[in-house]
Homo-oligomer: A and B are copies of this chain.
Amino acid sequence: MIKIRDLEYLTAIAEYKHFGHAADACFVSQPTLSGQIQKLEQRLKLTLIERQPRNVMLTPAGEKLVQQARQVLNAANNFEEAAKALLDPLSGDLHIGLIPTLAPYILPHIMPKLNSNLAKINFYLHENRTQDLLQQLEAGKLDILILPWLPEMVRFERYDLFTEPLVMATSPSHPLANKTKVTFDDLHNQKILTLEDGHCLRDQAMGYCFSAGAEEDDSFRATSLETLRYMVASNIGITLLPQLATINYAPQKHIHYIPFESPQPVREISLLCRTGYAQMESVRAVVNEVRQAVTGLFD
């Protein structure tokens, strides 16, 4: 049977493409790593690594097996994590991934509670776009994600957290600015400012707007919600913002936030983790904390 150490050596080579550096990363000498890799290749009767002078690379077989090796290493990590968790539940490291249109606006609401009520857990926060987050979750670099749920995420375990309405943002001088509610029909023929490609908020908000007959202002695409907010305040156009981004957020005076009549456009914020993740207790505790922290925010 294969040894876990061998798999670590193999993946290290895959990462560094260099025997010496890989050996350092594994805290062994270069001859040790070279030797073990050779034995592995003999045992499998496969050439895993192409040793060109000054250019180490993996063969196709090597690539394939590195993938499998990572699976094993992930599972082994889970084992160790689970053991630690048993020793001291609700402790250890938890890497949370969030999307940029949610992180800055929800974290102030949840982190104080998480840090005080789950004090033994070290929270690491990672901000990235949905597709990157999903990859990192799968690869074991992240433990949980907080983002709007999409059907492609069925392979992960899902906890619904809350439903966040999108509200219209206009400058005070815009014709719609002084309504207390806007409707689907108000969007007709409006020019909408959007985020750049890759933000899932863009797809969601724009889906709603286009079906209402609005048009995208494609002369401009914002790189962040804050840019978008300042564009709206400068009376360049209107946009939809997630409601969390409108709570306690300046500049209140130069921008009007107007809720929609139902059916409101919304995004369904969920928490994902790998099925079979070792520290489910921590995950459930986080779910509870977040749900409590947001109750009342949307009423």
**Residues in chain A within 8 A of chain B (CB atoms):** 1-5, 7-8, 44-46, 61, 64-65, 68-69, 71-72, 74-76, 78-80, 82-83, 86-87, 154-155, 275-276, 278
Q: How near does chain B come to A152, taking the closest CB pair, in angstroms?
A: 12
Task: Report whether A75 and B71 are in contact in the complex, using a CB–CB cutoff of 8 Å.
Answer: yes
B residues less than 8 Å from A74 (CB atoms): 75
B residues less than 8 Å from A61 (CB atoms): 83, 86
Task: Report whether B2 and A2 are in contact in the complex, using a CB–CB cutoff of 8 Å.
Answer: no
In the complex this chain forms, how many copies of it are found? 2
The 8 Å CB contact of A68, one of B7, B46, B79, is B79
B residues less than 8 Å from A4 (CB atoms): 1-4
Task: Report whether A65 and B86 are in contact in the complex, using a CB–CB cutoff of 8 Å.
Answer: yes
Of chain B, the residue at the smallest CB distance from A83 is B44
* Given A86-B65, A87-B44, A154-B154; A2-B71 close (CB under 8 Å): no
Task: Report whether B86 and A46 are in contact in the complex, using a CB–CB cutoff of 8 Å.
Answer: yes
Task: Report whether A79 and B69 are in contact in the complex, using a CB–CB cutoff of 8 Å.
Answer: yes
The 8 Å CB contact of A72, one of B64, B65, B72, B87, is B72
The 8 Å CB contact of A71, one of B3, B7, B69, B78, is B78
B residues less than 8 Å from A76 (CB atoms): 1-2, 72
The 10 closest A-B pairs by CB, nearest first: A72-B75, A68-B79, A71-B75, A75-B75, A44-B83, A61-B86, A68-B82, A72-B76, A72-B79, A68-B78
For the complex, give the distance between the alpha carbons of A74 and B71 in Å: 10
For the complex, give the distance between the alpha carbons of A275 and B74 in Å: 15
B residues less than 8 Å from A1 (CB atoms): 4-5, 8, 76, 80
For the complex, give the distance between the alpha carbons of A76 and B68 in Å: 8
B residues less than 8 Å from A82 (CB atoms): 64-65, 68
CB<8 Å pairs between A and B, sample of 23: A1-B4, A1-B5, A1-B80, A3-B3, A3-B4, A4-B4, A7-B79, A44-B83, A45-B87, A46-B86, A46-B87, A64-B82, A64-B86, A65-B82, A65-B86, A68-B78, A68-B82, A69-B79, A71-B276, A72-B72, A72-B79, A74-B75, A75-B75
